[in-house]
């Protein structure tokens, strides 16, 4: 007998054909509920999945990037340690996957309703695509630099060919799906650890922790650097958490899920960002895969291996985003298979990346602003998701999550107004205390400082958008939704 779906006309049978969960075979599951028989993942697999993604040249670059804000070494180290505590948010945002067997933006239907959830799903799709564009841009820039290092300057047709090839390669592993991603990232993580150990050896051989030529940055600048690292780290991954933990068995201990996701992301992130800071103290010479580049804290002969490894690492981290953006597109309501969504995302990413490269846009300014602005919606959404999770006693009516219409979470036309109001309130609050200040005048059109930002004594220009968004989102949802959500939880428990 098939599963039961809470539909518009009551609870109806749903036949789910069994699928094989195996690496290097195209995954047929999209936003389906994953049956217990197919949940083959272990917490250790979740740990290595996140480690394989985060052991990446991007995080080495992020450590260097905050130094360009003007932080001294002590400030940078403190900033990194504080920011990476937020990987605990990824741990919390991975707890619902094993309980429900579905993705983050299917779980998000519980607080927002099936139709109300479309708004935040759209925000997430744009966010995932933004990170994918970053990855493909870095890949193309790295390949161009690799050729240039060996005396060949690629012309426009050759750059187009590199872009098309990068986009095509990028979609292979996401097309195959969850089991392949888990297997590939696990084994790549072993290789990447060795690679970065070698890089660390070069760096520490010439390490100078004194940067006396740099005056300590102001407290306000510190908060801007902090929000950037929070955005690329723990808070920036929360919308991906359940997409990967959903293949853990339903009886997986919550502590195991939490620590696997938290440490899998935090450990390599801390190590690489610190390495980026330390490399900055050694040399002003950079390997310029962006306008800033990364410090060349290694001998010239290692430049080529560094760039080659970087390409593979960037492909690995983009895999996480591309898989999640595909299932988010489905949760948004686009009638497309998961593999079809991956193709759509690939085309969009390639087109925007081409615009950035051939339009000679200032990538660093656009990307830094992107990282600050996504916090505006991410903070409230995460707060609402976790508040809802606690209010309903950590239990969901899984089949209502799966239902397109009807079920426990349909409510009034698929809208749950307490969550929608809380999301808007949280976003408005976040915009009140944000400070986006691009370095280039060409990017000044997206500069914005919230009214609170410039009116806090002692720290004018500060950015605590993440904190205010989370706090307001959680409180407003609790006040408006607590009674109703607890009632839903009681109803679900009685069925």
Structure-block tokens of residue 199: 């890089």
pLDDT recorded at residue 289: 65
Q: Judge whether 380 and 426 are in contact, CB under 8 Å.
A: yes
- The set of residues, in sequence order, having a beta carbon less than 8 Å from that of 64 and lying 6+ positions away, is 276, 277, 279, 280, 292, 294, 295
Identify the residue whose tokens are 């944000």.
Answer: 434
Q: Return the SS3 of 118.
A: helix
Q: Determine the Cα–Cα distance for residues 488 and 75; give it in Å rounded to an integer.
A: 47
Question: What's the confidence (pLDDT) of residue 9?
Answer: 34
pLDDT at position 10:
39
Structure tokens at 162: 């590199």
pLDDT digit of tens for each residue in the chain (495 aa)? Answer: 233 333 333 343 344 555 667 778 888 788 888 888 889 899 999 999 999 999 888 899 899 989 988 899 999 999 999 999 999 999 999 999 999 999 999 999 999 999 999 999 999 999 999 999 988 998 998 999 899 989 999 999 999 999 999 999 988 888 888 888 989 888 888 888 999 999 999 988 888 665 545 678 899 999 999 999 999 999 999 999 999 999 999 999 999 999 999 999 999 999 999 999 999 988 878 887 666 678 888 899 999 999 898 888 888 888 899 999 999 999 998 888 888 888 999 999 999 999 888 887 777 778 888 989 999 999 999 999 999 999 999 999 988 998 888 899 999 999 999 999 999 999 999 999 999 987 665 666 778 999 999 888 888 899 999 999 999 999 999 999 999 999 988 887 766
Give Cβ neighbours of residue 385 (< 8 Å, ≥ 6 apart): 93, 96, 107, 108, 111
Q: Residues 292, 64: contact at Cβ < 8 Å?
A: yes
Q: How far is 239 from 243, CA to CA, in rounded Å? A: 8
Number of residues that this document lists for the chain: 495
| 68 phi, psi to nearest 5 deg | -75, -10
Number of Cβ within 10 Å of residue 217's Cβ equals 20
What domains lie within the chain, and their CATH numbers? 33-365 (1.10.4160.10)
Say if CB 192 and CB 55 are below 8 A apart. Answer: yes
Give the ranges where 85-155 is alpha helix by DSSP (H): 87-92, 96-100, 104-107, 109-112, 117-149
Residue 491's closest CA among 360, 395, 402? 395
Q: Is 263 exposed, middle or buried (0-12, 13-18, 19+ CB in 10 A)?
A: middle
Token pair in block for residue 293 = 């580049």
Q: Which long-range contacts (CB under 8 A, 24 or more apart) does 397-400 make?
A: 397/6, 397/488, 397/492, 397/495, 398/33, 398/99, 398/100, 398/101, 398/102, 399/3, 399/4, 399/5, 399/6, 399/11, 399/14, 399/33, 400/6, 400/109, 400/492
Asked if 18 contacts 39 with a C-beta cutoff of 8 angstroms, the reply is no
Q: What is the pTM of this model?
A: 0.91
- Measured in degrees and rounded to the nearest 5, phi and psi for residue 251 equal -90, 10
Q: Which helix (H) or strand (E) holds 391?
A: helix 363-391
- Please say whether the beta carbons of 83 and 293 come within 8 A: no
């Amino acid at each position: 007998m098939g599963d039961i779906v809470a539909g518009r006309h009551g609870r109806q049978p749903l036949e789910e054909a069994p699928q094989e969960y195996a690496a290097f075979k195209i995954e047929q599951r999209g936003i389906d509920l994953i049956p217990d028989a197919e949940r083959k993942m272990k917490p250790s697999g979740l740990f290595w999945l996140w480690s394989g993604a985060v052991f990446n040249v991007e995080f080495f670059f992020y450590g260097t990037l905050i130094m360009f804000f003007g932080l001294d070494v002590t400030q940078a180290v403190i900033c990194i340690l504080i920011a990476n505590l937020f990987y605990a948010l990824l741990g919390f945002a991975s707890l619902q996957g094993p309980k429900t067997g579905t993705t983050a933006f299917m779980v998000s239907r519980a607080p927002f309703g099936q139709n109300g959830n479309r708004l935040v799903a759209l925000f997430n799709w744009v966010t995932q695509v933004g990170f994918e564009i970053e990855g493909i841009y870095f890949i193309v820039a790295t390949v161009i630099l690799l050729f240039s290092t060996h005396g060949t300057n690629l012309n426009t047709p050759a750059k187009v060919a590199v872009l098309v090839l990068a986009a095509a390669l990028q979609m292979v592993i996401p097309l195959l799906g969850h089991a392949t991603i888990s297997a590939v990232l696990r084994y790549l993580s072993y290789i990447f650890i060795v690679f970065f150990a070698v890089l660390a050896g070069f760096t520490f051989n010439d390490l100078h922790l004194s940067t006396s030529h740099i005056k300590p940055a102001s407290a306000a600048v510190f908060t801007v650097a902090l929000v950037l690292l929070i955005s690329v780290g723990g808070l920036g991954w929360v919308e991906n958490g359940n997409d990967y933990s959903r293949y853990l068995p339903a009886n997986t201990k919550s502590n195991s899920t939490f620590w696997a996701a938290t440490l899998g992301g935090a450990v390599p992130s801390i190590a690489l960002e610190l390495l980026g800071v330390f490399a900055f103290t050694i040399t002003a010479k950079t390997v310029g895969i962006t306008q800033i580049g990364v410090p060349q804290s290694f001998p010239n002969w290692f430049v080529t291996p560094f760039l080659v490894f970087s390409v593979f690492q960037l492909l690995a981290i983009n895999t996480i985003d591309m898989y999640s953006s595909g299932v988010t597109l489905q949760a948004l309501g686009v009638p497309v298979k998961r593999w079809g969504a991956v193709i759509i995302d690939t085309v969009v990413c390639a087109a925007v990346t081409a615009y950035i490269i051939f339009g000679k846009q200032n990538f660093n300014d656009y990307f830094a602003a992107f990282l600050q602005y996504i916090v505006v919606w991410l903070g409230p959404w995460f707060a609402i998701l976790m508040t809802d999770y606690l209010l309903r006693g950590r239990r969901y009516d899984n089949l209502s999550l799966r239902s397109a219409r009807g079920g426990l979470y349909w409510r009034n036309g698929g809208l749950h107004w307490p969550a929608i109001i809380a999301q808007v309130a949280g976003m408005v609050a976040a915009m009140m205390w944000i400070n986006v200040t691009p370095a280039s005048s060409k990017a000044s059109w997206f500069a914005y400082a919230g009214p609170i930002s410039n009116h806090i004594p002692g720290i004018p220009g500060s950015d605590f958008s993440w904190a205010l968004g989370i706090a307001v989102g959680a409180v407003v949802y609790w006040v408006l939704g607590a009674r109703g959500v607890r009632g839903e939880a009681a109803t679900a428990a009685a069925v």
